[in-house]
Amino acid sequence: MILGLEDTRSPEPPRSPAVFIGKDGTLVENLPYNADPSRMRFSPHAFEALRQLATAGFKLVVVTNQPGIAFHFFDRAALTRLQRAMEARLADEGITLAGFYACPHAPAAPRMAGCLCRKPAPGLLHQAAQAQHLDLGRSWMVGDMLDDIEAGQRAGCRTVLLDVGNETVWRLSPLRTPHARCQDLLRAAQHILAAAPASATPPTLIQETP
């Protein structure tokens, strides 16, 4: 700063914590390649879970792989209609999404086309953090697959795996080890709300008992 001149720039506002949520199998029931709003069903206790997280100050962001676009099962316009229907249904419950981020690429795309957004890559989370002014170190990723967990870990978030039977491969590694495993989205929300501040130490797996 030049002597005698004040720095008039406004300080950057604090970044917000977020909960990143997988779509199929986490927020809504897993119906492969569905883009029909009439067939969309929210997972058990999803509304109450999101309300509790929002009340606690977390922004809610959906991050989802949607290879159905690459496979031509539906187009981007159809996914947008589904997104709008989802947002409208959540609004009816008093819940607002901060964002909805989707990767349209096929599973082989990360190597073939330089895709950085398909989970387990962390690109969707980074996009959301930049656009929504989010603090990834204070945020969480919740999903039903270990690819969700890896994406969250690589972005610097803490993670919760919904242990609902959708993960079948169990290709484990330190990046694919969740901080907690829960049986539904409400229990995941309760774990997040009860958790201590983020630690620099490696995650310790917490197995929820039924």
In tens, the pLDDT along 138-161 reads 999 999 999 999 999 999 999 999
**22, pLDDT greater than 60:** yes
Residue 3 lies in a domain: no
pLDDT at 206 (0 to 100): 47
Report the CATH number that the domain containing residue 115 is assigned in CATH. 3.40.50.1000
Q: Tell me if the bond preceding 203 is cis, omega within 30° of 0.
A: no
130 φ, ψ (degrees, to nearest 5): -70, -45
In tens, the pLDDT along 25-47 reads 999 999 999 999 999 999 999 99
Question: Mean pLDDT, to the nearest integer, of 84-89?
Answer: 98
Question: Mean pLDDT, to the nearest integer, of 153-178?
Answer: 95
DSSP state of 14: P
**Which band of pLDDT confidence, cut at 50, 70 and 90, is reported for residue 6?**
low
Residue 5 lies in a domain: no
**208, pLDDT greater than 90:** no
Please check whether residue 28 is in contact with residue 144, taking contact to mean a CB–CB distance below 8 angstroms. Answer: no
Residue matched to tokens 């995941």: 188
Percent of the chain at pLDDT > 90 equals: 80
pLDDT at 2 (0 to 100): 46
Q: Is residue 144 classed exposed, middle or buried when 0-12, 13-18 and 19+ CB atoms within 10 A define those classes?
A: buried
3-class SS of residue 180: strand
**Which band of pLDDT confidence, cut at 50, 70 and 90, is reported for residue 196?**
low
Q: Is the pTM of this model over 0.95?
A: no
CB atoms within 10 A of CB 83: 18
Q: How many domains does the chain have?
A: 1
Give the bridge partners for 101, in sequence order.
63
Residue 13 lies in a domain: no
Percent of the chain at pLDDT > 70 equals: 85
Average pLDDT value for the chain: 89
pLDDT at 108 (0 to 100): 74
Residue 2 lies in a domain: no
Question: Mean pLDDT, to the nearest integer, of 12-19?
Answer: 89
3-class SS of residue 29: coil
Tell me the angle at which helices 46-55 and 185-194 cross, rounded to the nearest 10 degrees.
Answer: 20
Residue 1 lies in a domain: no
31 φ, ψ (degrees, to nearest 5): -125, 100
Task: Give CA 199 to chain center in angstroms.
Answer: 20
Residue 118 lies in a domain: yes
| Residue with the larger pLDDT of the pair 98 and 3 | 98
Residue 168 lies in a domain: yes
Residue 39 lies in a domain: yes
Please check whether residue 35 is in contact with residue 81, taking contact to mean a CB–CB distance below 8 angstroms. Answer: yes
| Residue with the larger pLDDT of the pair 49 and 168 | 49
| Domain range enclosing 144 | 18-207
Contacts of 94 (CB under 8 A, 6+ apart): 51
